[in-house]
Structure 1
């Protein structure tokens, strides 16, 4: 029975010399795991090559063949190209955000590299990746943070900063809140049960909240699901938290 490796090598043989692996299979080779299951093998070939798609092989002709990286003996495109090539063929917004966010979080590429690739590439399939990328360029780093970013656009609150490290006056680390309003000292944490339900994760969350308390930081915790199920209630809570933070002296904390 043919394995994914067999299919990948067969697809590159079909594309002939200079063909490169891209899309989801290329992302997997770069160590990314958030993309959906691939339905075919996506390869790039020179624009003048007369090779078409067939069976499990999706052939894309391009004038923009990037330098290859040989990963496990397979010529592969760079991470940013693999992510954008995959995203242009997808229809699920959350899935596109998740794989872009993973690439950025794991430092496989920068948001700016994704934006350049999206701008320089084909127009077809560009709208959804562009919409998914905008909050990530603003500092969001997950599907939940993207939901929060979009909700904040309706809040009329001042702009915040995303994923900024906080320190006490004497340099001790406090936390890295999902969102931070520096002028009033307000932190917003989008805390999912899945990532904070284990003994270690729960203890870490309690320790983080204690550091916030000692530093005098007002912190609002929100479950990700509520960003979609109860957006108006979340906005009301956020505005109230901002009012509380603004109504007391700003704590002596610094970003870094």
Structure 2
């Protein structure tokens, strides 16, 4: 107990007054707690601890991530918005864990610390309330997360998730990301080309040095009658060649049975031996170019009819040969 000229304070019960047991020093002083008491209780063996300048955790246990987030928002002051990976998680994105400094958006000068990454903007976006925290909108949170990341695959994971699963239009990201790092701009270019996964991005890099036309990405394939056969991760339309970055599935069997040449490449192989994968692709393209193209449909609406194509990639077409159903496993 501590008694002041205003009231009697049960210091040990103060934690219950503040969400997450996170309080500002000014709040505690405003309740009548003596200044010296704060210092005593935040000593190395004391019951409280300093989280950030002017921000205390009224507990001795290590702070949880939620407590760090709450402390960062209190540190930023009124109108501060949570952004970056912590905000992405509150929006339901789970591709990356929240580690490192908490990211906040502010519209006034705030000193960064080793626990808080501060982005100052002239005008804050409209806040979104998520589980009691004021957060930046999903697109803005993704932009800030990408800007703080150094590993290209992590940037790919974040931006791909918000586009593919979060429903954020690529156009909403481009104004900010176009001014980002070279890695961020490269990922933006990949997304603009239709790449929607990290393995697809690795595959795109494999193709950079090959004398093949660029494929389309994430292409639904159907029979001439419209029966779905599956979705090709990468698709060469003239060759009716599908590239899948997974283990073989029944859908791959359906594609092969319809005359599509299907190359399966596990993501680990893409990452570990890209030069060998490039040779796999060239061999598959050669086989696809040496047989008549099957009559199938690819894409959302456009009908694809059989044609003698692909000789420039795989050799002369033998018009006398029938359809070849082939799945290539690498």
Short-chain TM bin: 0.7 to 0.9
Matched, 1:7 2:50: no
Give the TM-score normalised by the residue count of structure 1. 0.86
Question: 2 CA distance for matches of 1:251 and 1:128?
Answer: 39
- Give yes or no for contact 1:11–1:41 (8 Å, CA) kept in 2: yes
Matched, 1:58 2:101: no
Aligned with residue 284 of structure 2, among 241, 244, 248: 241
Match of 2:91 in 1: 30
Deviations 1:96-141 (A, max 9, x none): 111222222213413332222213xxx5x52221122321221112
Question: 2 CA distance for matches of 1:109 and 1:40?
Answer: 25
Match of 2:162 in 1: 103
Return structure 1 stretches of 4+ with deviation > 4 angstroms: none
Match of 1:232 in 2: 275
- Give yes or no for contact 2:72–2:104 (8 Å, CA) kept in 1: yes
| Cα RMSD for the two superposed structures | 1.8
Question: 2 CA distance for matches of 1:69 and 1:118?
Answer: 21
Measured at CA, do residues 171 and 91 of structure 1 come closer, stay the same or move farther in structure 2, by a change above 3 Å?
same
Question: 2 CA distance for matches of 1:35 and 1:206?
Answer: 28
Give the TM-score normalised by the residue count of structure 2. 0.68
Name the structure where helix makes up a greater proportion of residues.
1
Question: 2 CA distance for matches of 1:162 and 1:99?
Answer: 19
Where in structure 2 are there 5+ consecutive unaligned residues? Answer: 1-60, 301-330
Deviations 1:76-110 (A, max 9, x none): 11112111111111111111111222222213413
- Aligned length in residues: 238
Aligned with residue 127 of structure 1, among 168, 179, 182: 182
Larger-gyration structure (1/2)? 2
When structure 1 is superposed on structure 2, of 206-215 and 227-236 the one drifting more is 227-236
Question: 2 CA distance for matches of 1:118 and 1:55?
Answer: 25
Where in structure 1 are there 5+ consecutive unaligned residues? Answer: 197-204
Matched, 1:144 2:203: no
Matched, 1:157 2:216: no
Query: In the TM superposition, what is the alpha-carbon distance from 1:31 to its structure 2 partner?
Result: 1.0
Question: 2 CA distance for matches of 1:166 and 1:116?
Answer: 33
Matched, 1:206 2:249: yes
